[in-house]
Copies of this chain bind each other. A is one copy, B any other.
């Protein structure tokens, strides 16, 4: 799992580590570990102690909570450099949600202790982290509001566009999640997710090949997302 330290070239550095000197970057190397995950692997388990500051270098993950009745609620899908650690890392001792790879993924893990030490010694870095964390949680909250204000069809359209515009940037893509997971994300039943997809297919808005989706009428999808 351990890899030679190459933080100098890390994309994350470009994003917000530009305030950290190479000397400081090097000091992080000691505790830095890269990990690989297969689709379906847990990266973070709800309830476990937080020891590391984790971020996603490549792949795709889902953040979710498991309720007392065993049902799962998906908070968001995150792509690289959207913090996997989200916010709780700085305010809690245990994770209040789980993170699972929904595609082959690689994370970079740094001792949370090391990060906190650096934060205390480097205000610019702290501000950078604050900005990044702010963006990420703002996005989660915004997404939640967006979904909440839509009906079934609007939510499905929104999700399809989310994968299209924010993740894959192409009209043809493989859904990285099951219909059930889409249901857990938008807060509706699996059956109704399937029905909505079928409707879109029958209306010629999308084509469906198992998990693969092809968006045929993008404008129509946007319209459904915006006005039901």
Determine whether the beta carbon of B123 is less than 8 Å from that of A120: yes
Determine whether the beta carbon of B96 is less than 8 Å from that of A138: yes
A138 cross-chain contacts in B, Cβ below 8 A:
86-88, 91-92, 96, 137
Q: How far is the CA of A145 from the CA of B187 in the complex (A)?
A: 10
Beta-carbon nearest neighbor of A127 in chain B? B119
Interface residue A149 (Cβ < 8 Å from any Cβ of B): yes
Beta-carbon nearest neighbor of A186 in chain B? B148
Beta-carbon nearest neighbor of A124 in chain B? B120
Determine whether the beta carbon of B131 is less than 8 Å from that of A91: yes
* This chain's copy number in the assembly: 2
Q: How far is the CA of A92 from the CA of B131 in the complex (A)?
A: 9
Determine whether the beta carbon of B87 is less than 8 Å from that of A133: yes
Main secondary structure of the interface of A (DSSP, over half): helix
Starting from the known contacts A121-B123, A122-B123, 16 additional A-B residue pairs (CB-CB under 8 Å) come to: A65-B145, A73-B149, A87-B133, A87-B137, A89-B134, A90-B131, A116-B127, A119-B130, A120-B123, A120-B126, A126-B127, A133-B134, A137-B141, A144-B144, A144-B148, A148-B148
Determine whether the beta carbon of B73 is less than 8 Å from that of A148: yes
Determine whether the beta carbon of A134 is less than 8 Å from that of B87: yes
Beta-carbon nearest neighbor of A116 in chain B? B127
Size of interface on A: residues with Cβ below 8 Å to B: 39
- Looking at the complex, which one of B73, B124, B134, B141 makes contact with A90 (CB distance below 8 Å)? B134
* Interface residue ranges, A against B (CB under 8 Å): 65, 67, 71, 73, 75, 86-92, 96, 116, 119-124, 126-127, 129-135, 137-138, 140-142, 144-145, 148-149, 187
A129 cross-chain contacts in B, Cβ below 8 A:
130
Query: What are some 19 contacts across the A-B interface (CB < 8 A)?
Result: A65-B145, A73-B148, A75-B141, A86-B138, A87-B133, A87-B134, A87-B137, A90-B127, A92-B138, A119-B126, A119-B130, A129-B130, A133-B133, A133-B134, A137-B137, A137-B141, A140-B141, A144-B144, A148-B187
